[in-house]
Amino acid sequence: MARTSDIEKAAEVLRAGGLVALPTETVYGLGANAEDPAAVSRIFQVKGRPPSHPLIVHIGDAAHLDGWVEDVPPAARLLAERFWPGPLTLVLRRGHRVPLEATGGLETVAVRVPDHPVALALLSAFGGGVTAPSANRFGSVSPTTADHVRAELGAAVDFVLDGGPCEVGVESTIVDATGEIPSILRPGGVTREDLEATLGRPLAVPATSRIRVPGQHPSHYAPRARVVLVEPEKVVAEAELAQESGHRVGVLLPPSLSDVPVKAHAIVAVPASMAAYARGLYGFLRELDQQGCDLIVASLPVEEGLGLAIANRLRRAAGPRSTV
């Protein structure tokens, strides 16, 4: 776990325009001073991320929103009071402190307060906002440990803060709060059901939106192996057929088939708990990559609670060719 001296060092790196990998409750982020256009631009260079793809600004408290956003509508304020610190990102009108480099040229900004003691300590020591997309190459599996960051980005990161494994394991839920009726632009660590209970109204999850936000690329969160999605009852048959055809097949075996033998190169038994599945999802995909799989067969969970976020990540990992 990061020490006070580590946090102070990381804050110094941010002030000097450097990049710091920091833990959050969701995934590890690649952080830069949100008010330094050159440092923000370096994030895009290191990740290989398109400059039109917006970043999330992390702040230490909802009371610090002034300057980062133009205004906070009542629904957004209600959500912030209920879920911050936590895995919820709000899209609001951009304030004067946010350079266009951080928003992909948009006049909106995505902002959140992370729920991790190390991240909050860093934001306090730094005294400003930190832009922090996931600390990995663009489009690949997000990191949930400091070792994942070191293995993928290496010396491209100036300092890595180790805060242990991430508790949530999938990215934050992104809500468009710029209009009268909020909508979910990316399912994540705060469930649709909890958001609806707080607002007292149903929320749409549109397939496309007028606002660009992280995680909307057709292929995202993807391992090196190709991911194919099938119905749960077809996982074993599809995996064995692909294995017999010469693939090195990895299987994300759903709980309903936990006792079924499978002829495959590598098998990961999916937890029955959606919270445990979300926490482990990216680690499972990395494990199957490390075991040399070239094809991963998986099924989607029921799209309720955190199952909606997991299904979203698996679809993005599979890309446009999502089924065999």
Residue 218 binned pLDDT confidence (cut-offs 50, 70, 90): low
pLDDT given for residue 180 in this prediction: 84
Would you give the DSSP letter of residue 296? E
Residue 216 binned pLDDT confidence (cut-offs 50, 70, 90): low
Give the residue from 220, 205, 219, 181 showing the smallest Cα distance to 307. 205
108: tokens are 């909106």
- Calculate the dihedral angle through the C-alpha atoms of 303, 205, 53, 300, rounding to the nearest 10 degrees: 20
pLDDT given for residue 324 in this prediction: 45
pTM of the model: 0.95
- Examine the pLDDT at 18 and tell me if it is beyond 70: yes
H helices present in 207-273, as ranges? 235-244
- Examine the pLDDT at 322 and tell me if it is beyond 60: no
pLDDT given for residue 179 in this prediction: 85
CA distance 70 to 282: 35
CA distance 304 to 186: 14
β-strands 88-93, 108-112: how paired?
Answer: antiparallel
One-letter amino acid for residue 156 of the chain: A
Q: What is the mean pLDDT of residues 290-304?
A: 97
Q: What is the mean pLDDT of residues 121-150?
A: 97
Residue 211 binned pLDDT confidence (cut-offs 50, 70, 90): low
Which residues have C-beta within 8 Å of that of residue 84, sequence separation ≥ 6?
Answer: 61, 62, 112, 113, 115
**pLDDT > 90: percent of the chain:** 90
Residue 198 binned pLDDT confidence (cut-offs 50, 70, 90): very high
β-strands 173-176, 183-186: how paired?
Answer: antiparallel
